[in-house]
Structure 1
Amino acid sequence: MKQIAKELSVKLSQVKSVIELTNEGNTIPFIARYRKEVTGALDEVIIRDILERWNYLMHLEERKKEVIRIIEEQGKLTEDLVKKINKATKLQEVEDLYRPYKQKRRTKASIAKERGLEPLANWMLTLPDEGDLNAEAAKYINEEKEVLTTSDAINGAKDIIAEYVSDQAEIRKWIRFETLKYGKIQSLVKNEEQDEKRVYEMYYDYEEPINRIVPHRVLALNRGEKEDILKITIKPDVDKIIRYLNEALIADKYHSPVAGEVAAAIEDGYKRLIQPSIEREVRNELTEKAEEQAILVFSENLRKLLLQPPLKGKIVLGVDPAYRTGCKLAVVDETGKVLQIDVIYPHPPKAKREEAKEKVLKMLRNYGIEMVAIGNGTASRETEEFIADVLKLDNNGVVYMIVNEAGASVYSASELAREEFPDLQVEERSAVSIARRLQDPLAELVKIDPKSVGVGQYQHDVSQKKLQESLNFVVETVVNQVGVNVNTASPSLLQYVSGLTKTVANNIKKYREENGKFKNRKELKNIPRLGAKTYEQCIGFLRIVDGEEPLDRTSIHPENYPVVEALLEKIGMKKEDIGTEELIKRLNKIDMEDLSQTLNVGYLTLKDILDALKRPERDPRDDLPKPLLRKDVLKMEDLKPGMELQGTVRNVVDFGAFIDIGVKQDGLVHISNMSNEYVKHPLDVVSVGDIVTVWVLDVDVKKGRIALTMLKE
C-alpha cells in the first residue's frame, strides 16, 4: 500500500480507504460521490488507478509465492534468491529470477547436460590459469552418449555456457535497459505491391531511436507488419553489449587457455538466446505503452463526446442522408418520441428536389420544428446544402447541425433498435438516432458499442479487452456524474448506473411499464434482483423529477435525507422550496464549518448537499459551451488560406485534432499549429466538442485535405 501511495502521490490512508470500501462491495462512482470524507475526495480516475495497481501487486505477490515454492521443490532455493524475489517490484524481474529454474523444452544445453558435459562447462567458466582444453574435453568422450570427439564435448559445454549466460537475471536486466535506451527500431519494406495505397511508404526504409518513437508510430509499424508489408527489427549496439558481457564474465582472465571458447559461447548466448528474447520484450513494452496511450486518447475523446451539452426541450427533424435510397426523415418531440417518418429524394439519380422541398417545409410548419440534425455520412454535404436552402424559405429561425453519426448504423441494425422500433426500416431508425443525438447525446450514445462512436485512433490495433474495460469505465463515470431520470431512461442507460446490471435495468423498465411512473426512490426496493447493497449503490444516481419526495429529484443520497431535513428546519425552509431564490439566499449565508459540526456531517458531504439544494436538477453538461449551430453552407472551394472560421473538434489524435468547419472534409490542426508554446499532447489544448477559432493554412481539393492552424498570423 505504501508503494501505491508513493507512486500515485496520495496518502497511505486514502489507499487503505479505497481498498476497504471496494472490499465491502462499493462501486467506484459511489465511492467517488458519496464517500468523499473517507477517501479525501479522490475522483473516479485515481480510485481506479489505486485498484488497478493493487490488483497488479496482489498478482505479483501470488507469483512470487508460486516461484519460491517451485524453486524450493527443486531443492535450489537460497536465502539470497528469496531476498531478490521478494524485493522485485515488477513481474518481469520475478520471471528473470525464475528463468534458470524454469522447466524448459529440450534445448541444446539440456541435451549437452544429458550427455554429461555440465562439469566441463563449469570448469571452463572458472577460467583456469593453466590447463589444456582438448585434454580436459577428451575425458568426456563417450560413444553411448554420442560424444564422439573433443569438439563434440567442447561444443556441448559451450551450449551450456550460452544458456547459463542467457539465464542471468542481472545480465538480462542490463541488456533490456541498454536496448531500450540506446537501441533503434528499424522498418524495411517486405511486400511493396501489397501496399496499394502506399499507406506505409514513409516506413519502407525507416529507423528511429527506441526511446524517441511516439506511440502512434509504434502502432502504425505493428499494423504494417501484421499486414505483411513491413519487416520490423530492433537494432541494439551489439558490440557494446558483447563487451559488457565479456567484462562481466571473463573480466581479467583473458590469458586463460579457455577464454577464447568462453567468449565465443557468451556471444552465441547473446545472439542466439538473449537478443531475440529481449527484442520480443522490447516490442511488447513499446506496444503496451502505445496501446495505453491510444486507449487513453480514445477514452478522453469518448468522455468529452458523452458530455456534449444536450439541447433539451427541442422538437427536432433528424435526417439520415443518402443518394439512391433517399434521405430518411424522422421528427421527434421534446422527449424523443417519434412523430413522423418519411423519405425524400433531393439528390440524383431520382433528384425530386421540389417534391422534397415541399415535404420538409410541411414538416417544419406542422410540428414547429426548431432544429434539424443532419448525419455526417454519405451525401451529408449535399443534404446540408439542400436543407440550408429550404430553411431560407421557411424564415422561422430554424437552425441545423451536422451530427456525427458514427455508430448510428450499428445501433440501427441492432436487436436493441429492433426492439425499440420494430416497425421501422434500418435507415429510418438511423434518422431517429441522429435526431435524438442532438437532443441528448449521452442517452443515445450509450446504446452503441463505445468502440463504434468514431473518436479513436488505432482502436482495432490495441488489446480489445483493455479498450473495452477503459471505455466502459468512461461511460459508467459520465452516466453517474450526470445522473439518470429513472422514469425516462432506457435500459441501455440504466445498466451503467452504479451497482445496476443489465437484468436489473430491464426489470426497472418492466416495472415502469406495468405500474406506471415511479413516485419515489423507495419504490425501487420492489424491483426484482435490486437488493439492499445495490439500492445503496445506485439510488443517489437515479432521479425522480416529479415524484412525491422533492429530494428525489436531486443527487442527494437518501442516507442524508435526515441531515437535509434538519438543515431546512434550521433555516426555516421546506423541501418544496429547493431550487428557489429564497432558499439559495439563505444557504449562501450559512457558516459551513459551524453547520458541519452542528449537523454531524462531513464538510465535503455538506457542500455537495448545499449545491444540490441550490440546483436540484443540475446537469454538469449545462455548464459547457453549446454546440455550433449553422444556417448556411460552405464548400471546400470557398476556402482560402488565411480565412478565419469557427469549428467543432470532432476527434483528437496524438499528432493533432480534426475540426469540422462546415465543409465536406474535416480539417487537421497539426500539433505544431496549436500553440506558440510547446504542446506535449493535443489533449492539453483541445477536447472533442470544443468550439475553436481556426485559420485556413492550405486546401488540397483533389486529395480532400484541409490544413488549419489555431495560431493567428
Structure 2
Amino acid sequence: MSQLDSTATTTASQGPSGAEEQKQIVRQIAKELNLSLKQVRTTASLLDEGNTIPFIARYRKEMTGELDENQLRDIAERMQYLRNLGERKREVLRIIEEQGKLTEELAAAIGQAVKLQEVEDLYRPYKQKRKTRASVAKEKGLEPLAQWILAQPKQGNLLLEAAQYIDAEKGVETAEEAVQGAMDIIAEEISDEAATRAWVRRYTMDHGLMVSEAKTPEEESVYEMYYNYREAAKKMPSHRILAMNRGERENVLKVSLEVETEAIHRHIAGRWIKGSSIVEDVLHIVIEDAYKRLIAPSIEREVRAELTEKAENQAIAIFAGNLRNLLLQPPVRDKRVLGVDPAYRTGCKLAVVDETGKLLEVAVTYPTPPNNKKQEAAGIFNRLIDQYRISLIVIGNGTASRETEQFVAEVIAGRKDQELAYLIVNEAGASVYSASKLAQEEFPDLDVAERSAASIARRLQDPLAELVKIEPKAIGVGQYQHDVSQKHLDESLKNVVESAVNHVGVDVNTASPSLLSYVSGVNATIAKNIVKYRDENGKFSGRKELQKVPRLGAKTYEQCIGFLRINDGSFELDRTPIHPESYAVVERLFAELDVDMGQLGSKELNSKLAAVQLEKMAAQLGVGVPTLRDIIDSLQRPGRDPREELPLPIFRTDVLKIEDLTPGMELQGTVRNVIDFGAFVDIGIKNDGLVHISQLSDRFVKHPMDVVSVGDNVTVWVLNVDLKKGRVGLTMRKPADAGN
C-alpha cells in the first residue's frame, strides 16, 4: 500500500468528525421522517440539553415547529439508533484497520451504511470466527488452491493442481481432500460477501413462506389452525407471527421459512461464475453448499428475527394505544362508590370510598357458590348503601364477576327508593397492586383482597391516578404482551403513562408519589420529597413553593412546573397549564384586554379572549402564535380536566345472560380491548363479544384502532351466539332490517 493509500485509509477509518456526523444524522432523520433540518436539529439540541419530550411538545412549540410527542419520540429513537450505529462503525473500522485489511472502498461502504445489519454484513469477512471447515482448510495451506479455483482457469486439470497441496503432516492425504478444503474456503467467502447476503435476505423476505406444522398432530391445542399452515412471510400480520413463535417455544409447532432456491442459486452464480471454465461445475457445487449450509440457516434466523421485531413493535404499539385510552378514561366525580372484588370460596370483598377516594369501610360477603349466602349478603350491601348513600357499585371483572353481577342486579331491583347503578371495570393489575409495597403502605390494616376492592372503587373515580400505581404491563389491554421484548415494552408503556399524566396535569396537593413520578422531569426520589414536604408543611400555596423541595433543582422545576396544578392556591394561574415563564405574557395580554386576574373563568373574559386575533396579538406581546394559542385556551378553561370531555362509562341496573341474546339484537357496550383482528366489547354478559375487523364499519378498515378505542361506548348488533363455547359475534355495521 502506498503512502497516499495509507493516509487515505487511516483518515477514512477515523470516520467523520463528531460535528459532521451529527449533521449527517440530522439530514438522514429529516429525510426519513419528512421533517425540516431545523426541526430535527432543534429537537436534538433540546433533548441533549436535558429537556423532556412532554416539556418540549408543550412549551417549545415555536422552536420545533409544533412537533407532537410522537414525532419527538421518533426523532429521539432514530437519533439514539444512528449514534449507536456511528459507534459501531468506528469500532468495526478500527478492528479491520488493525488487521491491515481496510481499503478506501470498504471504509466508504461502512461509512455510507444506514443500518446496523449492513455494517455487520461488511464486517463479517473480518470477524474472528470459531473453528470452521474453512478455517481448518486455511490452516492446511489450501487458500492458494481456493484462489486458483476462483480465478476460473480455462485450461488445466483441477486434480493435478490440487495434488501439489498433498501434505500428510498437515492432514491433506489426497488431491480430492485438497479440493474439498478449497471448496470449503470458497463457500465461506461466498457466504461472507455483503452484497450476496443482502440480496438473498431481501429475496427471502419478499418470496419466503412461513410454514408451521404440529409436532404431535393428534394432540388438541390452541394452535390447531397452525398445524398445517403456510403464508407469505412479508404479508403475515403480527398476531400470527407471535402466535407461531409461541407455539414453537412451547414445543407444539415446528416452524420454518421456505423459499425457492433456484433463483437464489442463479443470482449467486451470476455474481461468482465468470463464464465457462474447467472448474464451473465445481463452483456450482460450492454455491449450492454455501447457500444450504452457511447462508440459508443464518438468513432464515435474520429474516425471522426481523419479522418478529416488526410483529413485536406492532403488538407494543397496540398495547400502548390501548393503555393510553384506558388511562384517559373520564373520571366519575362526586360519587360515593362501593367497590366489589368478587370471588367464590373466599367471598366478595367490599370497600366503600367517599367522593375523594378516602376509604370509609371494608366488609366481606358470600353471595356466590359454594356459600350462596345471598340473604345475608343482601343485608350487608343494603346497609352500606343506606349508611353511606352509595349511588354506584363497581365490580371487578375477575373470577366470579358475572355471578356477583347477577346478585348486585337483584339487590338493585329490590330497591325502589333511589337511583342506584353498577358497572364492571377491568381489574387487570389490581392483584399486583394489592400485594405491592405501595399498597401495604397505603392500607397497612387491610388484607390483599380488601386493598383490591378499594383500588377497584377508585379506578372509577380517577382511572389515571389509580392505574399509575400498577406496573403498566400488568394492565392487560394488549395482545401477546408476554411474547415481546420486555425491555422495549417497559420503555414504550412508561412513555405512554408519562404522556397521559402530563396531558392531564397533576394536582400537587393530592397526588400520590406514584402519580408525581411520571410528571415531566420528576423521578421517584423527587416525587417522594414533594409528598414528604407536603406532609410536613401542609398544602402548597403556590408553584414557587416547590422550589423549596429537596433535590428539585432549577432544571427539574422548569421541566415539571407547567404540569403541576395548585387548584386552591394564592395565584389563579397556578391552576392552569400555563408555564410560569409565560406569566408575564398573560399580564401583558390582560393589560391589552383591560381585564384583571379576578375575571378568570368569567364570560366577559372568555368573550374577549375568543375575539383575539392571534397573529396580531402575538406580535404585540412578543410571543409565538402557538404559545399564545395555548395560553388563551388555558385561560378560557382554567382548571379543566381534558378527560371530562369524553363520555362516561355505561351504567347498568340489570344483568344480561348469553341465553338472552338473539341474532340482530341491538345492544350498548364498552370497548374493553382492541387487537389486530378486531375489538372485544363488554355487552354485560360473562365474556366480552368480538367485533371482527370486517364488522367494524361499512368502509374498509386498515386497523381496528382507526375506528374504535378502549373505553368507547358503542352500539352493536348480535351476529351469532355459540352457547357451548360462550362466544358472541358482534357487528357495528347496522343491519338493513334494524330500526332507524
- The two structures have a TM-score, normalised by structure 1, of 0.98
Q: Which amino acid aligns with 2:263?
A: K
Deviations 1:302-344 (A, max 9, x none): 0000010001121111111112222111111111001111112
Partner of 1:475: 497
State how far apart, in whole Å, the 1-side matches of 2:461 and 2:598 are: 29
Partner of 2:603: 581
Q: Which amino acid aligns with 1:413?
A: A
Partner of 2:256: 233
Partner of 1:436: 458
Q: Within the alignment, does 1:445 sit opposite 2:470 as a pair?
A: no
Q: CA deviation at 1:685?
A: 1.0
* Partner SS for 1:612: helix
Q: Within the alignment, does 1:461 sit opposite 2:488 as a pair?
A: no
> 2:51, 2:559 within 8 Å by CA — same for their partners in 1?
yes
Residue number among 392, 395, 401 corresponding to 1:380 in the alignment: 401
State how far apart, in whole Å, the 2-side matches of 1:484 and 1:381 are: 35
> 2:393, 2:421 within 8 Å by CA — same for their partners in 1?
yes
Q: CA deviation at 1:678?
A: 1.8
Q: Within the alignment, does 1:90 sit opposite 2:115 as a pair?
A: yes
Partner of 1:209: 232
Q: Within the alignment, does 1:25 sit opposite 2:42 as a pair?
A: no
Q: Within the alignment, does 1:350 sit opposite 2:371 as a pair?
A: yes
Residue number among 546, 553, 559 corresponding to 1:531 in the alignment: 553
Partner of 1:303: 324
Deviations 1:615-634 (A, max 9, x none): 01121111112111111111
Alignment of structure 1 residues 231-630 onto 2, 5 Å: 231-253=254-276, 256-395=277-416, 396-630=418-652
State how far apart, in whole Å, the 2-side matches of 1:486 and 1:496 are: 12
Q: CA deviation at 1:270?
A: 0.9
State how far apart, in whole Å, the 2-side matches of 1:675 and 1:637 are: 27
Q: Which amino acid aligns with 2:708?
A: V
> 1:187, 1:230 within 8 Å by CA — same for their partners in 2?
yes
State how far apart, in whole Å, the 1-side matches of 2:599 and 2:348 are: 48
Deviations 1:428-469 (A, max 9, x none): 111110110000000000001111111010000000000000
> 1:191, 1:228 within 8 Å by CA — same for their partners in 2?
no
Structure 1 stretch 650-659 or stretch 668-677: which is displaced more?
Answer: 668-677
- The two structures have a TM-score, normalised by structure 2, of 0.95
State how far apart, in whole Å, the 1-side matches of 2:152 and 2:275 are: 10
Partner of 2:199: 174
> 2:332, 2:461 within 8 Å by CA — same for their partners in 1?
yes
> 2:469, 2:515 within 8 Å by CA — same for their partners in 1?
yes
Q: CA deviation at 1:391?
A: 1.8
State how far apart, in whole Å, the 2-side matches of 1:314 and 1:430 are: 19
Q: Within the alignment, does 1:14 sit opposite 2:39 as a pair?
A: yes
State how far apart, in whole Å, the 2-side matches of 1:702 and 1:188 are: 28
Q: Within the alignment, does 1:37 sit opposite 2:62 as a pair?
A: yes
Q: CA deviation at 1:591?
A: 2.0
Deviations 1:21-61 (A, max 9, x none): 11111000000011011111111111000010011111111
Q: Within the alignment, does 1:689 sit opposite 2:714 as a pair?
A: no
> 1:319, 1:434 within 8 Å by CA — same for their partners in 2?
yes
* Partner SS for 1:708: strand
Structure 1 stretch 353-362 or stretch 493-502: which is displaced more?
Answer: 353-362
Q: Which amino acid aligns with 2:180?
A: N
Aligned residues: 709
Partner of 1:678: 700
State how far apart, in whole Å, the 2-side matches of 1:592 and 1:154 are: 81
* Partner SS for 1:650: strand
Residue number among 116, 137, 140 corresponding to 2:141 in the alignment: 116
* Partner SS for 1:411: helix
> 2:152, 2:274 within 8 Å by CA — same for their partners in 1?
no
> 1:316, 1:370 within 8 Å by CA — same for their partners in 2?
yes
Residue number among 149, 157, 160 corresponding to 1:135 in the alignment: 160
Alignment of structure 1 residues 636-675 onto 2, 5 Å: 636-675=658-697
State how far apart, in whole Å, the 2-side matches of 1:106 and 1:90 are: 28
* Partner SS for 2:482: coil
> 2:345, 2:369 within 8 Å by CA — same for their partners in 1?
yes
Q: CA deviation at 1:84?
A: 1.2
Partner of 1:162: 187
State how far apart, in whole Å, the 2-side matches of 1:199 and 1:206 are: 14
> 1:318, 1:329 within 8 Å by CA — same for their partners in 2?
yes
> 1:326, 1:343 within 8 Å by CA — same for their partners in 2?
yes
Q: CA deviation at 1:124?
A: 0.5
Gaps of 5+ in 2: 1-25, 736-740
Partner of 2:75: 50
Q: CA deviation at 1:192?
A: 4.7
Q: Which amino acid aligns with 2:388?
A: Y
Q: CA deviation at 1:637?
A: 0.6
Q: Which amino acid aligns with 2:151?
A: T
Structure 1 stretch 184-193 or stretch 428-437: which is displaced more?
Answer: 184-193
State how far apart, in whole Å, the 2-side matches of 1:347 and 1:228 are: 39
> 2:430, 2:456 within 8 Å by CA — same for their partners in 1?
yes
> 1:573, 1:583 within 8 Å by CA — same for their partners in 2?
yes
Q: CA deviation at 1:675?
A: 1.7
Q: Which amino acid aligns with 2:324?
A: R
State how far apart, in whole Å, the 1-side matches of 2:569 and 2:217 are: 67
Q: CA deviation at 1:252?
A: 2.3
Q: Within the alignment, does 1:220 sit opposite 2:243 as a pair?
A: yes
Deviations 1:45-96 (A, max 9, x none): 1100001001111111111121111111111111111121111111111111
State how far apart, in whole Å, the 2-side matches of 1:103 and 1:534 are: 47
> 2:679, 2:704 within 8 Å by CA — same for their partners in 1?
yes
Partner of 1:186: 211
* Partner SS for 1:523: helix
State how far apart, in whole Å, the 2-side matches of 1:339 and 1:300 are: 35
> 2:422, 2:651 within 8 Å by CA — same for their partners in 1?
yes
Q: Within the alignment, does 1:198 sit opposite 2:221 as a pair?
A: yes
Partner of 1:67: 92
State how far apart, in whole Å, the 2-side matches of 1:61 and 1:598 are: 46
Residue number among 95, 106, 111 corresponding to 1:81 in the alignment: 106
Q: CA deviation at 1:351?
A: 2.1
> 2:40, 2:75 within 8 Å by CA — same for their partners in 1?
yes
Deviations 1:444-503 (A, max 9, x none): 000011111110100000000000000000000000000000000100100000000101
Give the RMSD, CA atoms, in angstroms: 1.1
* Partner SS for 1:593: helix
Q: Which amino acid aligns with 1:205?
A: N
Partner of 2:7: none
Partner of 2:15: none
* Partner SS for 1:394: coil
> 1:675, 1:711 within 8 Å by CA — same for their partners in 2?
yes
Structure 1 stretch 621-630 or stretch 171-180: which is displaced more?
Answer: 621-630
* Partner SS for 1:663: coil
State how far apart, in whole Å, the 1-side matches of 2:449 and 2:262 are: 64
Q: Which amino acid aligns with 1:25?
A: G
Q: CA deviation at 1:570?
A: 2.4
